[in-house]
Copies of this chain bind each other. A is one copy, B any other.
Amino acid sequence: MSKRTRSQSVTDQLRELILQGTFNPGERLYEIPLAERMGVSRTPVREALNTLRIEGLLDYETQRGYGVREFGTHDIVAAYEARAALEGLACRMAAENGLSKEDLAILERCVADGDSLLSSGKLLPENLARYRQMNVDFHETILRASGARILGDLVRQTHNIPFASNRIMVWDDYQIIHRSHDDHHRIFDAISRRQAKRAEALMQEHVFFAGQVLKKHIEAKARIAEEPGERG
């Protein structure tokens, strides 16, 4: 593919580290140690820090440097609500405008691929990556088909929250995945028939629901992590 600069590489690495929770919330990030860790000079590191600040992952104060922004369940839910509103809007616009043959084919393909991957009654671990890719393709195609580049830009930003990325999913419940893929069926149907309002409502609910699932997942995890210490 296309060659990437050190800046881009460092940005991606650092973003990944932050999204994975490598750093503590509020932890300060110093340029020089980061540069040494990444094996580059301060220049690409500074560009990466600036980039991630604008993407909303870092806090910054003039002459005082960068710190990892703190996120709570509240922020994650809000990000999903925003994403639901934005993707719902994109879905409506796409349905109103009508999709190109090519985009319709991509969506149809996504739906069919999902059917196939889920046909065994569960999602096999070796199919995880393909399912995830299918999901990303589905959503990005609709965003693109909306004809409004800004919507994609904004949605991408809602992924820049730890745990909120569309690459993160709760995989342990087949029922939930199945329902989610059923949403795709219905969204595809609504878009094909140019039922704009229905398409919008379906997409809103689809994304909102994913956020609720993730929220419960995180809260359950937090409960498990806390409980062992205390006892009744």
Contacts and interface: CB of A to CB of B under 8 A. Distances in A.
Contact of A151 (B3, B54, B82): B82
A62 to B, nearest CB: 6
A74 B93 CA distance: 12
Interface stretch (A31-39, A119-127, A152-160, A165-173): A152-160
A148 B75 contact: yes
A82 B156 CA distance: 14
B51 A8 contact: no
Contacts of A55: 54
A95 interface: no
B75 A82 contact: no
A65 interface: no
A157 B154 contact: yes
Contacts of A158: 150, 154
Interface in A19-65: 46-47, 50-51, 54-56, 62-63
Given A4-B62, A153-B157, A147 B50 contact: no
Q: Size range of the interface on A?
A: 35 or more
B56 A54 contact: no
Given A62-B5, A149-B75, A154 B51 contact: no
Contacts of A89: 81-82, 85
A79 interface: yes
A107 interface: no
A92 to B, nearest CB: 9
Contacts of A149: 75
Given A2-B62, A62-B2, A89-B82, A150 B51 contact: no
Given A82-B151, A153-B157, 19 more contacts: A2-B62, A3-B63, A50-B51, A51-B54, A74-B147, A74-B148, A78-B146, A79-B150, A81-B148, A82-B148, A82-B154, A85-B85, A85-B86, A85-B88, A86-B86, A86-B154, A150-B158, A154-B154, A157-B157
